[in-house]
Structure 1
Amino acid sequence: MNDTNETAWNQRADNDTQTAAEWTVLPVFQLLTALSGFLSNGVVFLVFAVNRSLWTPFNVYVVNLLIANCACIVTQFPMDIVVSLYHGGWTLSEPVCSYYLLTSWYLQPVIFNSHQLIAINRIWAVTHPISYRGIHSTRTAMCLCVGVWIYVFVGLAPGLVNDTAYYRVPLQTPGLCNLNTEAQLHWALAVQIIFYIWPQIFMLIASLVIFLVKSARRRRANRGRSNTVAPAMRGTNSNPQRTGREPTANITAATDNSETPSTPGRQRQKSSHGNLLLLLLTVSVTVCWTPNNVYYTWQFFTAYDEPTFYTVTTILFAIQTTIDPVMFALALTPLRKALYEFASCH
């Protein structure tokens, strides 16, 4: 997964010369995560498909991530299991190798940047709520999701084409199925930084920005309430004929104005669900992606390979596809209710 250096794979294959398939810890966990990921993503996607009430602009990003996860699980995970069974050796044909490289190098960055797109949406909603409510729609969300798939394809196509045409190392039996990243080191390093490391960093930045913006708004709201209540109370004490209703109205008006302009309660609730989802996804990807990014970035600068660390990073990376639907259910109350109804009916 996330193949960025051929030397590590060569060393791992040279350390074990046997060609028979062996169900070690890594392929067993990959099989389990493939099954659990397909089940969890598939069920959540089915619930979205049959519940029209869930077809909101923000949920387009959720469905997009579900599609990317399912595509990766169906196309790449079986090949990952085969590679792990033979300790990094490739026993299939060269066309299948090309298919495997295309799926692994393309779908993984799509997943990373689909997470980043949710962070971009949340920053837009929190920092520019007026333009967000005026511009953002289901069509806008769909265009942005399609743009992510195109953006990743444009960034990866030059290196994939050059590798196929000029730099691909011929397969042996058993051989290794990898891109020759050493021949395109600068491109491979740019891919690692732009499509793998930066999305994770951006999610952390987005969570911090949203926290700071909302904290600043709460402080302004509290100051507005204090400035409104004090004059109202003084006016009430100086005039016994007043009924006390006017200060209450002033307090209510100040409270309403402290929120984003013209934001109804349901819209604020949906926004909080989206922010909670971003927070949960940020925590999960920090745990699951960080070891993987550290491992493959380190491989650019050294030929040393630690099989145990590789196994842990690969398992954690695969688990993220299973965790995503769980985060969706925890953060999005309408989805959680729909899942409960779906389970009750079946």
Structure 2
Amino acid sequence: MAYNATNQSFTGSPNGFDWTVPALTRCSMCVIQTLLNAAMIVAFIVRRELRTSFTIYLMFLFCANIIYALGGYPLEVLRQGFPNRWFLSHAACAFYIYQVWVFCPVAMHLHVLITLNRLWAISFPVSYKNIHSEKVAVLICAGTFVYVHLVCLPLVVLDLKYHHLSDERYGCMLNTAAQNVYTTVVAIVSTDVPIVVVVGAYPFLWYKHLKRKKIGTAKPSRVEVHQTVGAATGVVSAIEPPAVVPNVLKRKSAFRRIEASSARPFVVLTLLTVSVLVCWTPDQVMWTMSCFNAANDAPGLRYTTSVLFTLQAALDPILFALSLRTFRKMLSRLICCCKRGVNEQPRGVKTVISLTQRDEQ
């Protein structure tokens, strides 16, 4: 994780720039991550029907990924390439420490908001439908931004004001030794807790999703049975009046579309949870262990966990695009601008609207 990168001394060349594996990864990810996340944001801006109360969290996540890629990665590459030396200004060092210790947890907490959003939608669908909206989603994201700053920013301010070491002699890094207890608490609250929430809440969400799916699939079969019996015996069904029997097939088809679309946000959540478990957990375990044990004797393992952590922000837009077929088609039309995509645009827009309406429930 970025915390490890801040507090570890990667062995560098005394003369010239040292291209470490994490440095090379961040150079490439700075470009790839920015392009992928920017493409998703452009799609949201161009296609108004893609913006729902659920996808608002994804838009904030993509914006955070871009800001961290452009603001944090170049400075991190410079810091790792010239360990124990800092050639930029003190203001640039302060900005880098802010990116690592404050803005990076903001992106992690946006993953928490996605999980909590699905938890609310599945556990309390009535209140979710009545209360949650795009405006509420924006306010929740803004409140999370303020919360993370209240927790993490005082650590950075205290370091820069009272405990910061010389940039020219020690390089740009947070003096964790001077605030050891506070640093450990901030790291656990701002990074360990989000991972625990995202991964720990998934089994319950999976159970609730399956239970809701079973209850939903039982409804059309019951209607179909009564329709079949009434047609075979000539007896009017007490549940389905004759006036609405011709509309049963239409309602059944619409119900199936709704049930299919209800799984879309859950698929997104599943993929994001797996990526968090694979990319963030190893690095965070290494950092938590280093808080209680000063020994760091596995630089190769640190490089691996650091690379995995960097990949997460690039996987976010990819996993989201792959999990939603309708969004993938519309994004392909946006990028390719092919004639076939233009001709099928009205039907695609209609399908997206039917899917996004279900996201609100």
Normalised-by-shorter TM-score class: 0.7 to 0.9
Q: Secondary structure of 1:28's match? A: helix
The answer to whether the Cα contact below 8 Å between 1:281 and 1:324 also exists between their aligned partners in 2 is yes
The answer to whether the Cα contact below 8 Å between 1:4 and 1:181 also exists between their aligned partners in 2 is no
The answer to whether the Cα contact below 8 Å between 1:9 and 1:176 also exists between their aligned partners in 2 is no
Q: Tell me the percent identity.
A: 28
Task: Provide the TM-score with structure 2 as the length reference.
Answer: 0.81
- Provide the rounded CA distance (Å) in 2 between the counterparts of 1:198 and 1:241: 59
What is the letter of the counterpart of residue 3 of structure 1? Y
What is the letter of the counterpart of residue 275 of structure 1? F
1:214–1:170 Cα change, 3 Å: same
What is the letter of the counterpart of residue 21 of structure 2? V
The answer to whether the Cα contact below 8 Å between 1:4 and 1:188 also exists between their aligned partners in 2 is no
The answer to whether the Cα contact below 8 Å between 1:3 and 1:179 also exists between their aligned partners in 2 is no
The aligned residue for residue 260 of structure 1 is none
The aligned residue for residue 334 of structure 2 is 342
What is the letter of the counterpart of residue 272 of structure 2? L
The aligned residue for residue 118 of structure 2 is 122
- Say which of 300, 313, 321 aligns to 1:321: 313
The aligned residue for residue 44 of structure 2 is 48
- Say which of 263, 278, 301 aligns to 1:287: 278
The answer to whether the Cα contact below 8 Å between 1:37 and 1:322 also exists between their aligned partners in 2 is yes
- Per the TM alignment, residue 240 of structure 1 is displaced from its structure 2 partner at its CA by 12
The one-character-per-residue Cα deviations of 1:113-161 (angstroms, maximum 9, x if unpaired) are 0001000000000000000000111100110111111111111122112
- Per the TM alignment, residue 63 of structure 1 is displaced from its structure 2 partner at its CA by 0.3
The answer to whether the Cα contact below 8 Å between 2:268 and 2:320 also exists between their aligned partners in 1 is yes
- Provide the rounded CA distance (Å) in 2 between the counterparts of 1:143 and 1:109: 18
- Say which of 288, 297, 306 aligns to 1:297: 288
The aligned residue for residue 265 of structure 2 is 274
1:87–1:157 Cα change, 3 Å: closer
What is the letter of the counterpart of residue 199 of structure 1? P
1:73 corresponds to 2:65: no
The answer to whether the Cα contact below 8 Å between 2:110 and 2:141 also exists between their aligned partners in 1 is yes
- Provide the rounded CA distance (Å) in 1 between the counterparts of 2:231 and 2:221: 22
- Per the TM alignment, residue 269 of structure 1 is displaced from its structure 2 partner at its CA by 4.6
1:161 corresponds to 2:157: yes
- Say which of 30, 33, 37 aligns to 1:34: 30
The aligned residue for residue 259 of structure 1 is none
What is the letter of the counterpart of residue 130 of structure 1? V
- Provide the rounded CA distance (Å) in 1 between the counterparts of 2:236 and 2:188: 60
Matches within 5 A, 1:161-310: 161-173=157-169, 175-218=170-213, 242-243=233-234, 246=237, 249=240, 268-305=259-296, 306-310=298-302
- Structure 1: tracts of 5 or more residues without a match: 257-262
The one-character-per-residue Cα deviations of 1:157-187 (angstroms, maximum 9, x if unpaired) are 22112111111122234x3211112222222
- Structure 2: tracts of 5 or more residues without a match: 249-253, 339-361
- Per the TM alignment, residue 54 of structure 1 is displaced from its structure 2 partner at its CA by 1.1
Number of residue pairs the alignment of both structures matches: 327
- Provide the rounded CA distance (Å) in 2 between the counterparts of 1:225 and 1:18: 72
The aligned residue for residue 59 of structure 1 is 55
- Say which of 13, 20, 23 aligns to 2:19: 23
Task: Provide the TM-score with structure 1 as the length reference.
Answer: 0.84
